């Protein structure tokens, strides 16, 4: 990663401009061309420096829902269960923890009922009980990591 990549990451954490050509405007602010910005972003995604570029939505305002869920996966079957959970389109991301509930993941659905249906299917396909931890209160934490 060079200084331009660092500038891209630091700059875009605040969001892309809302306009017809957001990458062009962002590139101009960075002093590079739009094609170079797109190429560099593709490289940062391909090499795993970035995992995602996109907006964050308040899904509830659009009628959807999300929840934090967890399960206890036996160590000898962890990889299979993780692959099964990750194959669900409702699962946004998955984390391994050193706890009895060793697999934590976010489930997002188009409707609140979709959460329950997804959890039921995950339980069926993994053979593991899924614990649902819905949000009880929302906090806004604007985390920006300077690189």
Question: d(Cα 8, Cα 125) in Å, to the nearest integer?
Answer: 41
**Contact indicator for 127, 145 with CB cutoff of 8 Å:** no
Give the pairing of strands 65-71 and 103-109.
Answer: antiparallel
For 81, counting Cβ atoms within 10 Å of its Cβ (0-12 exposed, 13-18 middle, 19+ buried), the class is: buried
**Secondary structure class of 143 (helix, strand, coil):** coil
User: Looking at 6, 80, 93, 117, which residue is catalytic?
Assistant: 93
For the packed helices 34-46 and 3-12, what is the interaxial angle rounded to 10 degrees?
A: 90
- 99 carries an active-site annotation: no
Long-range contacts of 137-141 (CB under 8 A, 24+ apart): none
Question: d(Cα 86, Cα 124) in Å, to the nearest integer?
Answer: 14
Instruction: Point out the residues that are catalytic.
Output: 93
């Amino acid at each position: 990663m060079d200084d331009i990549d660092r500038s891209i990451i630091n700059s875009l954490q605040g969001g892309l401009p809302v306009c017809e050509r957001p990458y062009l405007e962002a590139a101009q602010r960075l002093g590079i061309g739009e094609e170079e910005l797109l190429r560099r972003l593709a490289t940062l995604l391909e090499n795993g420096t970035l995992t995602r570029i996109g907006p964050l939505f308040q899904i509830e305002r659009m009628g959807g829902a999300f929840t934090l869920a967890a399960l206890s996966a036996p160590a000898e079957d962890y990889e299979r269960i993780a692959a099964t959970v990750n194959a669900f389109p409702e699962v946004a991301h998955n984390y391994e923890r050193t706890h009895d509930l060793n697999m934590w993941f976010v489930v997002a659905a188009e409707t609140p009922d979709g959460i329950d249906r997804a959890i039921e299917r995950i339980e069926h396909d993994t053979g593991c009980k899924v614990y649902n931890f819905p949000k009880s209160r929302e906090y806004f934490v604007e985390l920006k990591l300077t690189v």
